[in-house]
Amino acid sequence: MHAVSRHTPAAARLNEEGIRSWHAGELSAAEEFFRRALQARPRYAAACSNLGMVLAEQRQFGEGLDLLTRAVEIDAGHAGARVNLANTLAYDGQIDAALTHYEAALRLEPENAAARINFIKPCMDACRWDDAEAETARLSGLHRGGMTEWTSQVLPFVSLLLPLPASMQIAVARSHSAMLTARYAPLRARMRALRPPDRAGAKIRIAYLSGDFRNNAVGHQTAGMFGCHDRGRFEAHAYSWGHDDGSEWRRRIAAGCERFVDIRGESFEQSAARIARDGMHILVNLSGYGGGNRNEIFAMRPAPLQVQWLGYPGTMAADFIDYVVADAMVLPASMQSGFTEAIARLPHCYQVNDDRQPIAAATPARADCGLPDRGFVFCSFNQSYKVDRAVFACWMRLLAAVPGSVLWLLVTSQGGRANLRAAAAAAGVAPERIVFATPLPKAEHLARHGLADLFLDTWRVNGGTTASDALWAGLPLVSFAGQGFGTRVAASLLKCLGLDELIAADRQDYERIALALARDPAALGGLRKRLSHARTTGTLFNTAGFVHDFEALLETMMRRHREGLPPASC
């Protein structure tokens, strides 16, 4: 999102002060300046738009969206205000409304880079494949033509979703990290001076940073991890900039830490200084370039070792990230050249899971979920942006080959639902054979997996937490290992469970495996039994075992650092 700056003099000065505070991470101060600007000039579109974005960043979407809408009403010809509203709607999951405002912005300014680039991901969310592919082709053309200005406009996470060459994806990541380094590297000497001396033999102090210690995928995965650290060798600290949702996940995380520190009201520099003074040895970035990150803190290097893990399936291409945590499946040696970080590989799956995650006792009736009384149920609860034209065509062939079968998806966008039903009809499949699930509380969502027969993973990006959820609920999953970190996650999960036969060699093999299982109830039943056994005896759902392996990696990193050696793959 980009600050909007217009008008003079007093209101404009307050608006500019708000922008400066916002860029420093001082959200409360920024909010105050923007509110004062609006008091001075009530119909000030720029201040409305900026205040709306600051509130949305604090997850106050109600008032934030009201202000962003008001900014557009005040200045309907301002494309930037339209883009800000569209970005916030998309972040809040209101995809159809977001697309309406992106299109309005592009009618005003057809070459508005922010509008064109940010338009791609919501098109993917709504399964508007023609539009997403056209804009992606345009980006590729800019890259081939040697134009590099666009790289800072593309979100690194979005670049990983697109069929772009690795060189483009690295260029995008590097453009973002370079801006952070240029701005915050001058503060690194101050951070070093704030760190207390490291005593030989002292416990390793780990700081986990995230805005998602709540009812969120990261919160779900890590909730049981913090309390498993060996307190004789480690101190586990959590620094949170996300809102407190009062959820059980947040309570468990806070209870499992040595300290749980809420840094929402601090500037980036204040948070970095706090971490440095606290003497953290290893700073773990759980967001990467994901939404709502605070990589500004990492760019100041408040800790001697900084690691990215879990939240971002690609390189950060940053001089302030030393290691990326992976495993041999998601990041084999053949892919290592695409990462600037040293690779720290876990012996099993890189992804932590909570082995205490509850599943509701009652499985709902098929009719309550919109499913027919009979027939094979293929399902994929991955987010809709992961569903591309090719994988959906495969799924339609499976439906055509298995009479009476249905495909059960979790798509919240009404436009996305309509587009998928239209694509089914175009493939000769009755649209009513596509069944859409509605969001449910996590325990109930896990329970309804019992109604499905086989989970079909996506190809563009695999399921992560979603795939783990299916396996935890006892639902077999078929996937294949692609050419990027994010396209190999489900394969890592399956390998960890000893279910290698569900890892397809290629897309054709994926289709063959899924069809064979749909036609062979005995084989599918045997897989369910093996999955049930591996769920309780294997390594994937053994939180304490994962933490033990993770600690061994952290000790290796810290030992090298204490010996004066640079980071190295381990």
Express each pLDDT in 103-161 by its tens digit: 999 999 998 888 999 999 999 999 999 999 999 888 777 666 555 666 778 889 999 99
Q: Which residues contact 537 (CB under 8 A, 6 or more apart)?
A: none
Residue type, 97: A
pLDDT digits (tens, 9 = 90+) for 394-425: 999 999 999 999 999 999 999 999 999 999 99
Backbone torsions φ then ψ of 112, nearest 5 degrees: -65, 110
Measure the CA–CA gap between 224 and 301, rounded to whole angstroms.
28
Residue-wise pLDDT for 354-398, tens only, equals 999 999 999 999 999 999 999 999 999 999 999 999 999 999 999
CATH class of 185-355+545-562: alpha beta
Tell me: the pLDDT tens digits for 240-289?
Answer: 999 999 999 999 999 999 999 999 989 899 999 999 999 999 999 999 99
Three-state DSSP state, 201: coil
Residues 6+ apart with CB under 8 A from 207: 237, 238, 239, 275, 278, 280, 282, 283, 284, 303
CATH pick for 367-539 out of 1.20.120.1230, 3.20.20.450, 3.40.50.2000, 3.90.25.10 = 3.40.50.2000
0.85 exceeded by the pTM? yes
The predicted structure's pLDDT at residue 215: 96
C-alpha 417, offset from chain centre: 22
Half-sphere exposure of 380 (CA within 13 A, CB side): 26
Q: What is the pLDDT of residue 559?
A: 96
Distance CA 565, CA 562 (A): 7
Average pLDDT over residues 470-490: 97
- CB distance 235 to 320 below 8 Å: no
pLDDT at 200 (0 to 100): 80
- pLDDT confidence tier of residue 60, bands split at 50, 70 and 90: confident
Give every CB contact of residue 65 below 8 A, 6+ residues apart in sequence: 52, 56, 85, 88, 89, 92
Per-residue pLDDT, 140: 74
Instruction: Write down the domain spans for the chain.
Output: 1-126, 185-355+545-562, 367-539
Chain-wide mean pLDDT for the chain? Answer: 94
What pLDDT is attached to residue 165? 80
| Residue 272 tokens, joined | 């970095």
The residue to which tokens 């370079």 are assigned? 178
For residue 41, pLDDT over 80 is answered with yes
Helices H, strands E: what count in the chain?
24, 13
Residue labelled with tokens 């948070």: 271
pLDDT score recorded for residue 8: 54
Looking at the structure, give the CATH architecture of the domain made up of residues 1-126: Alpha Horseshoe (1.25)
Residue 429, amino acid: V
- Model confidence at 27, pLDDT cuts 50, 70, 90, reads confident
Q: 367-539: same fold as 185-355+545-562?
A: yes
How confident is the model at residue 101, as a pLDDT?
Answer: 96
> What is the C-alpha separation between 480 and 257, in angstroms, rounded?
36
Q: What is the pLDDT of residue 210?
A: 98
**Element containing residue 260 per DSSP (H, E):** strand 259-262
**Does residue 5 carry a pLDDT above 60?**
no
Q: Which helix (H) or strand (E) holds 480?
A: strand 477-480
Residue 285: in which H helix or E strand, if any? strand 282-285
Query: Is 87 in contact with 60 (CB distance < 8 Å)?
Result: no
How many Å apart are CA 1 and CA 115, to the nearest integer? 10
